[in-house]
Structure 1
Amino acid sequence: MVSQPTLPFGAPHQALPWRRSLLVVLALHLLGAVLFWQWQNRQAPTAMPMPAVMMVFAEAPQAAPADSTPPGQAMPQPEPEPSALPEPLPLPQLPESSQPRIALPPVKKKVPKPIEKTRRIAQPKPPQEAVKSHPPALEQNAGAPPPGNANRTAAPQTQLTPYSQAGEDSWRSRINSRLNRFKRYPKDALRLKRQGIGRVNFTLDRQGNVLAVSLVSSAGLPSLDREIIALVKRASPLPTPPADTFHNGVVELTMPIDFSLHNARF
C-alpha cells in the first residue's frame, strides 16, 4: 500500500481556515500599501510621466504642380454652363368666337353739287378814287361819258346832282392841302420806320364841319390809324363843298391819307 503524505496543517478540512487567514493578511498589506502611496502623493508632487513619442511613418506628399499663371493675374474661372431653358408650354387654343356678322347698310356716295359760278358785277368807282390831274381835252371828247354820270359820291343811297369835274378836283385838292398842314407823323411809326396809306370816310355839313368820321382801311399800324381819325377832326372845318354836292344838307366823302417818311411831320 502507498502511504499518503501528511499535510502540514492536518486534514483537508483543516486547510480552509489557514487560507482565509492568508487572504486576510494579503488584503491588509495591500490596503496599507495603498494608504502609504496616497500619503506620499500628498507629501511630494507627483512627477508627470514623460509623454510617449509616437513615430508614424507615411509616404512623403507629392509636390503640387507648379502654377503656370504669372503672379498678379487671377486664374480665369470657368464660365458656368448655361442651364437649358425649359421648353415653353404650348398655349391652349381658344375656340373661335362665333359672332354673327352684322350687315352694314351700303354707304351712299355724296354727289358733288355743281358749283354755281357767280358773276361779279363791277361797281362804279367813286369819284374820290379818280386821278386828280385833269385829262387832256382830246381824251375827254373821245367817247367819254357825260360828266353827270361819271362823277358821283360813294354815299350809300345818296346820289348827287351833276357838277363840274374841275370844281370837284379843286375842292378835293384844297381838302388835301388842309389835311397835310394838320398831319402829324406818330413817333413810334418814325422809330420803326413804318409808312402806309389808309382810307377814311367822313361827313361834312354846308359849312365844312366834320360831323362823323370812320376808318375804311388800315394804314398798317395802329398809331397811323389813330392819327388818321384825329387828323380829320383836327383839321375841321374843311373847305366848303360845292353847292350841288349836298344831299339832305350833308355830303359824304372817302379819301386816302398817305403817311410817307419822305415828307414826315411830327
Structure 2
Amino acid sequence: MKRAIQFRDIATASALLLGLATAQASVITTPIDQIPLSGAASLSFSGDLLGALDTGKVSVTAYGAAISTITKDNDGFYTGGTVSAPLTTLTYDPANFEIFGMGSTGGLTMTAPILKNVSSGGSLTVTDLRADLSAQTIYATVIGGNGVGTISDMALWHFSGLSSQRYTRYQTIDTSFSGLSVAITGLTITQQGFNAFTQSLGLLTLGKSALMGVTDYGTITSTIEMMDAPNFPWSVTSVPEPSTYALMGLGLAGLVMAAKRRRSA
C-alpha cells in the first residue's frame, strides 16, 4: 500500500508539471482585430515623474498613433499627463480566453533642453509598448538621441500591481460593448531603461538625481472590448514563473528519492 501511494504521488506531480507546460505552450499572440476585439492602453504619469519632467523642463508630445493629454498650471509646472495608444496584439490562451499580455502602437517623445547641471540636451521616444503580465515587465521600442539609436523590445519597466474589472457600456440604446479594464501599477524602471533615459536626454548631475527619485512611473490602464457580448469571456491571469517549474521539479525529484529510499529500506 505504501508503494502505491508513493508512485501515485509521483504520477500526480508529473501530470501537474506536464499540464502546466502544455497550458503555457498553448498561449498565442494574435492581432487584436482578428479576434475580433478593440482596445487601447493609457499611461498616466505619476507625481514623481511629473516632478522629474519639471526639473529638466522636459516637453512631452505624442508619437505615432498615440494621443497625449498634458496639463500644466499657470506657472508652467506639470499637473497631469496621459498618453493613450491603440492596442494591436493580444497574447492569450484560446482554450479559456485568459490574457497573458498585450501590445500597442505609438507612444511619446520627451525633449530636454540644455539646462545647466541638469541636461546637455537630447530626446527620447518610447513607443510600441508590450506588457508581459506573467513576467511583470513592460517592453518598449526606444529611440534615443546622443548615440543611443533604436533599441527594439527593450525591458523598460517592471510592475508590482495587476488588477482587472469587467464592464459594460452603451453606445446607443440598442448597441452595447462588453469589456475588461486591466490596470498595471507600480512601474519601476530597469537599469537598461535608466541608462537609456539618462544618455538620450543628456542628463547631468541634477537631472540624474531627479530621475533616480522617481520610484513609481505611473499606471498603465488597458481596455479590451467587443460589441454585443453579454457573456464576455476574457480574463487576466498569470503564467507560473520559471522558478515555479524549478521548485516543482525539485519536489518531484524529492518524491522519487524518497520512494527509492523506502524501497531499499
TM-score (norm 1): 0.22
Greater C-alpha radius of gyration:
1
Bigger relative CO (Cα 8 Å, ≥ 6 apart): 2
- For normalisation by structure 2, the TM-score amounts to 0.23
